[in-house]
Amino acid sequence: MTDINLSYNEKRLLLALDRAGGSATPADMVASGDFSLEVEIMGAASWLESKGLASVSEESTSYYVLGKGAGELPERKACRLISEAGGSLSMADLAQRMPGEDGIAVGWLKRKGLADITAVDGNRMLTLTDKGAEYLVSIGADEVLLEKLAHGPVPVSEVDAKIAKDLKGRQGMIAEETVTVRTISVTDAGRDLIQRGIELREEVTDVTDTLIQSGKWRDAEFRRYDVGTFAPAVYPAKKHPLSRLAADVRRLFTDMGFTEFDGEYVQPSFWNLDVMFIPQDHPARELQDTFYLEHPGKIHIDDEDLVATVKAIQENGGDTGSTGWGGTWSREMAEQALLRTHTTVNSLRYIAEHPDAPQKMFSLSRIFRKESIDATHLPEFTQIEGIIIDENGDFDMLVSLIREFYAKMGFDTIRIRPAYFPYTEPSLELEVFFNGKWMELGGAGIFRPEVVAPFGVKHPVLAWGFGFERLAMLKWGITDIRDLYISDIDDLKSNQVL
């Protein structure tokens, strides 16, 4: 116990409590001039409490106070108006004399039996009862309470419950407030310590330039900090980690001069698949991979020229020099509505509107695939997609963009492998080493002539689509993709912002 480390304020508090006979409230100690602020006392008290030298007890008392809407009771005002009018007044006149309050007044006149309502010549008249006349020269129990409250709070225990309940029910008349009084008491251990003697020396808590320049630091007693001591954890509000990662991705692309673009989740197969030179018998179109919709089941493609061009390219290559896929292309299949299976559809729709070089566009948005949910698959997930249309665009430019993106996101070890997509040539797949194995992060390539020809694009279009959730998993070492969307509050609290 002798090596117990007490701050200046803790020592002051022990001594003040001792002077007060062992226990006191913060208000008492401020009143006696021992301290100037209650917060100082409470801060020191909680430290003494954690060291077993003092204890803090709380007692709460409820009080009634006057509400913001307190004033003359409307039924009192109404009685006066009726009496001034000779004992009876029409409802219409009352409404004119106390607009907005007349309804409440009439309600209470009836409830308290102060006036009767009768119909005279089609007018509804209010007539004071005997009780009403008496009321005019007396004061109600509720008014007595209001009067008392006007002079200060009254403990709930001293107030008639029925009267309080009625006034509380009348909006804003009275309110309830709870006042908590804390009492700090010295424990036996605290008393022992006081008996052994406490030396009070002022401590320096902040090293200022004056302290250094004046040389006073030489004699100063510095407050000791125990960084290992218990302190309650504080969890300030912060954005969801996925939102923060999305903001990072967006910032990264916009810093590199890209513009964000997004489109609809619901697309005709035409834009999601056919325009992309995906053959109509491609496995990706299978029902087990794609969510086809019933409402709308079809989306009509208005652009007849584009339909004709895409049909020709699919069947025989059209004017592109390609041989196409052969067979007969079905417009009906192309008009089937689906939930987009990749955001590459955003890139194509963007190109359709902006076919000229240079262009730099990205999208960060949701896609849908009919996957069974497991540790690495979800039926809804997010893609980081983008294109560059550039006169000098080539495979090297694409690879360096990908490397730069991942390096900026903090991943240097990525691997690029040849791949196949129906819409790009050459194509690549990129992987990152994670948890002892290479994990696929996305695909990229240069759009084939069959894809860009219908829009009159004259320069190379570099395109990519990366997995967003995979990136999040890598960043935070998460092995189960479902954990990203479960939003476990403890995980969210402990997720670090920096």
Binding site for ligand PHE (CB under 6 A): 342, 344, 421, 424, 442-445, 463-465
Spatial separation of the C-alpha atoms in residues 382 and 359, rounded to whole Å: 23
Do 379 and 365 meet the contact criterion of CB atoms below 8 Å apart? Answer: no
User: What's the token pair of residue 460?
Assistant: 């190379």
State CA 109 to chain mean position distance: 49
Contacts of range 368-376, beta carbons closer than 8 Å, 24 or more positions apart: 368/265, 368/291, 368/339, 368/340, 368/341, 369/289, 369/290, 369/291, 369/341, 370/287, 370/288, 370/289, 370/290, 370/291, 373/482, 375/479, 375/480, 375/481, 375/482, 376/481
Residue 236 beta carbon to ligand PHE: minimum distance, rounded to whole angstroms: 37
Nearer to ligand PHE, 140 or 422 (CB): 422
Residue 262 beta carbon to ligand PHE: minimum distance, rounded to whole angstroms: 15
Nearer to ligand PHE, 382 or 424 (CB): 424
Radius of gyration in angstroms for the set of CA atoms belonging to the chain, rounded to a whole number: 39
How far apart are the two ends of the chain, measured CA to CA in Å? 40
Spatial separation of the C-alpha atoms in residues 282 and 498, rounded to whole Å: 44
Do 48 and 182 meet the contact criterion of CB atoms below 8 Å apart? Answer: no
Nearer to ligand PHE, 320 or 424 (CB): 424
Residue 311 beta carbon to ligand PHE: minimum distance, rounded to whole angstroms: 22
Nearer to ligand PHE, 67 or 445 (CB): 445
Nearest residue to the partner ligand PHE, using Cβ: 465
Residue 344 beta carbon to ligand PHE: minimum distance, rounded to whole angstroms: 4
Nearer to ligand PHE, 53 or 345 (CB): 345
Which of 141, 149, 142, 113 minimizes the C-alpha distance to 128? 113
Nearer to ligand PHE, 445 or 454 (CB): 445
Non-local (6+) Cβ contacts of 405 within 8 A are: 252, 466
Nearer to ligand PHE, 190 or 467 (CB): 467
Residue 452 beta carbon to ligand PHE: minimum distance, rounded to whole angstroms: 12
Residue 423 beta carbon to ligand PHE: minimum distance, rounded to whole angstroms: 7
Nearer to ligand PHE, 460 or 465 (CB): 465
Residue position matching structure tokens 């999040």: 472
Bridge partners, 65 (sequence order): 175
Residue 431 beta carbon to ligand PHE: minimum distance, rounded to whole angstroms: 13
Residue 442 beta carbon to ligand PHE: minimum distance, rounded to whole angstroms: 6
Spatial separation of the C-alpha atoms in residues 157 and 61, rounded to whole Å: 9
